[in-house]
Amino acid sequence: MTEVVLYHHAQGLTDGVKAFAEELRQAGHTVHLPDVYDGNTFDNLDDGMAYAKSIGFGKLSEAGVAYAQDLPENVVYAGFSLGVMPAQELTQTRAGARGGLFYSSCLPVSEFSETWPAGVPVQIHGMDEDPWFAEEDGDLASAQALVAANPADAELFLYPGKSHLFADSSLSDYDEEAAKLLVTRTLTFLANLP
């Protein structure tokens, strides 16, 4: 099956992120869970973001990228929100990337390279009224631009709602119906990789 590196969000490597990884493992995939917070988790997004800012977003992303250097090249890079930074950088720039899975975030392609790598599939998932994702000129706009420029490789899935970390079952943002659909789409993506 597929090897996946899954990066946690700003609240840390929560039980919900671990449970999500376990769902992928139950389907036969190998999932790596780097912890760029060194075991720290936070009860709310604001505290998690404050912690991330205190360390520096660049340093956190560098730690995530460094984690992958000891892994084989042919892996899928996935991330929740803050974790999309290293996942997207690796998907765009590391040789042999099999694909990307970006949950609740998407950066402009130009952050990491001039264009999206041809033939590298990506799925982007977010809620259509999530203020962190759908804000004007934010992640949703970046996702739409990526899909428009790469229709053969990129898919964007919008879910109704305002929750940001809706696929993390350990948080109050959790939306069971949307999360189940996200998992189904993720497993389909992984199963259909060449």
Which pLDDT belongs to residue 135?
86
* Element containing residue 191 per DSSP (H, E): helix 176-191
CATH number for 84: 3.40.50.1820
SS3 per-residue string spanning 82-101: HHHHHHHHHHHHCCCCCEEE
Which pLDDT belongs to residue 136?
81
In whole numbers, what is the pLDDT of the chain averaged over residues?
Answer: 97
* Element containing residue 51 per DSSP (H, E): helix 45-55
Q: What is the pTM of this model?
A: 0.97
Q: What is the pLDDT of residues 109-133, one digit of tens each?
A: 999 999 999 999 999 999 999 999 9
> What is the total count of domains within the chain?
1
Q: What is the pLDDT of residues 41-89, one digit of tens each?
A: 999 999 999 999 999 999 999 999 999 999 999 999 999 999 999 999 9
Name the residue range of residue 47's domain: 3-191
Q: Using CA atoms, how far apart are residues 149 and 120, in angstroms rounded to an integer?
A: 13
- CA distances (Å), 51 to each of 18, 40, 82, 162, in order? 20, 9, 12, 23
